[in-house]
Amino acid sequence: MDKNIADLRRDYTKLYLHKEELKQHPLMQFSKWFEEALKAEVLEPNAMTLSTISLDGKPKSRVVLLKGIRAQELVFFTNYESDKAREMEKNKDVAIAFYWPELERQIRIEGRVEKIDSAESDEYFHSRPRLSQIGAWASPQSKVIENRGFLEERLKQFQEQYGEKEIPRPEHWGGYHLHPERFEFWQGRASRLHDRFLYTLKGGNWQIERLAP
């Protein structure tokens, strides 16, 4: 390599975070930061790293897309036959992380997931682009396939099958609610002395504490 990875570094000087400026509820603070990420034109601000525990007890992570923010929960969608869905069926405790380098911010969230009701999954499924709907039928997510031609052939088959008709939501595809129990808001600061604030749910109330960087 031309450059030593250990020499890659940057100082964070754009913003700061004071405790008195934080919202009392972490999802209100999350919504505030999310709006600021939209204004800053962060690339895919709803992209989040979802971490689960595999069936053999090992941590696994991948990026998925947040699709809803509510008073007490976050919403995302996936294939219920995927590895992550099978892992969440066994262990509903998950962690997610957002990183927005344009704002030098990171958010970490821990909580438990539950499947949303079928009507809500139907509503979101039919709001997706038509090819994304067909893709949900065509891809046996997380399964080993021989080549890309397999996917392209299945896509063609389902396009011919449904034609101009409404595409039904596959039973193996739908959404999850994430009910948060812990939030951390991280704001990069100079000299690696970052601002970190932890929200912990205790007795139905959110406690806010500053963490050392």
The catalytic site residues sit at: 192
Helix 148-162 and helix 130-138, axial crossing angle in degrees, nearest 10: 120
Q: Are 125 and 135 in contact (CB under 8 A)?
A: no
| CA angle in degrees (0–180, nearest 5) for 24-29-34 | 170
* Token representation of residue 133: 């709907």
SS3 state of residue 138: helix
| 178's tokens | 């994430």
DSSP 8-state code for residue 203: T
